[in-house]
Amino acid sequence: MLGRLFAAAVLVAAIFAVLVVSGTVHFDNSSLSISAGPSKSAKRAKRIANPSRSVELGAVPPPITEASGLAVSRDNGGVVWTHNDSGGAASLYALGRRGELRATLPLSGAINVDWEDMAIGPGPAGGPDWLYAADIGDNDAVRPSVRVYRVAEPNLSGVARGTLLAPAVSGSVELTYPDGPRDAEALIVDPKSNDLYVITKREQRSRVYRARAPSFVGETVTMKYLRSLDYGEVVGADVCWDGKTVLVKRYFELDAYHGRSVASALAGRPSSRKLDLEPQGESVAADAKCRGYYTLSEGAWQPLVRYR
């Protein structure tokens, strides 16, 4: 009799363990809950931008020695855009499939005070996508305002490797915080609304601010504070083209948030993503189909890394 009871108990424990691992049974701080399994959104969040391996595509050459932002092109196949950190040229650099310098795009009318991130977003109907350069760094939190530049992405078809393109006229928006100057290194452009999201760095809990779809005709916009994340030291961010999956990078950690929009995603709980050790990695960009992402560290001849 005791033998049969023991065998039944072992069987129940084994079934329970399988349910926990599969996600059918899960715990929180106060209760045990049982469901039919992960929701469709949870499964999708786990699948999107959740690579199992990384590949070094190639070393990125000078003049890119302080890469601080990344954006993946949809229209120029295999191209990833980047820029240098504070004090560098007011230029964006197109990198090829092996990290080589494809082209340099100077931004007319722009100044690189402390460029810390970049993004890409949909342009006007029938037109090219927009490239955004975020001059939002402020180590001492003393700048009364910061600025984001925007320029149409050039078509690189037929452009010779290493070409210096003609300067592109950029629009810009001046941004202020509602609660005083902040240091920030992360910019997100919502592909559905064209809203700008800025995530600060220096606080114990990084703060998220939003500017509603600026026109980029030189206006000044006071951003709205939305919420704080559960950690600080955010150095980069990006969003997938569906506007529902957001990547947030720290020096040694990368998180993915998922929701119905950028704002709702950032209000949820993140899940960790693979990130290789980098000397000073401050940039991340989701690929065009949100099946992985790219990173690039500051420093000379650093590898452009794709996570697949």
Q: Among 21-25, 84-88, 183-187, which stretch is predicted with the lowest mean pLDDT? A: 21-25
Domain shared by 7 and 111, yes or no: no
pLDDT at 88: 86
State residue 3 phi and psi, 5-degree precision. Answer: -65, -45
Confidence of residue 52 (pLDDT cuts 50, 70, 90): confident
- Let me know the angle formed at the C-alpha of 186 by 264 and 177, rounded to the nearest 5 degrees: 80
89 and 29 together in one domain: no
The CA-to-CA distance between both ends of the chain, in Å, stands at 54
Instruction: Assess whether 73 and 13 both reside in one domain.
Output: no
Task: Name the band, by pLDDT with cuts 50, 70 and 90, for residue 39.
Answer: very low
Phi, psi of 2 (to 5 degrees): -60, -35
Q: Return the higher-pLDDT residue of 243 and 126.
A: 243
C-alpha 158/C-alpha 56 separation (Å) is: 26
- In the chain, % of residues over pLDDT 70: 84
221: CATH? 2.115.10
Domain around 53:
42-307
pLDDT, average across residues 208-227: 98
- In angstroms, the CA 233 to CA 307 distance is 22
Per-residue pLDDT, averaged over 241-267, amounts to 97
Cα–Cα distance, 70 to 79 (Å, whole number): 10
Tell me, yes or no, whether 8 and 150 share the same domain: no
pLDDT value of residue 98: 97
Do 46 and 125 belong together in one domain?
Answer: yes
CA distance 253 to 191: 24
Q: Are residues 71 and 121 in the same domain?
A: yes
Q: What's the structural domain count of the chain? A: 2
Does 12 score more than 80 pLDDT? no
Question: Do residue 281 and residue 149 come from a single domain?
Answer: yes
Q: Which helix (H) or strand (E) holds 10?
A: helix 2-22
Quickly state the pLDDT bin for 9 (edges 50, 70, 90): very low
Q: Do 47 and 29 belong to one domain?
A: no
pLDDT at 18 over 80: no
Q: Are residues 156 and 24 in the same domain?
A: no
Same-domain pairing of 184 and 250 = yes
Interval 55-81: pLDDT, tens: 999 999 999 999 999 999 999 999 999
Percent of the chain with pLDDT over 90: 81
Q: Are residues 29 and 112 in the same domain?
A: no
Same domain, 228 and 293: yes
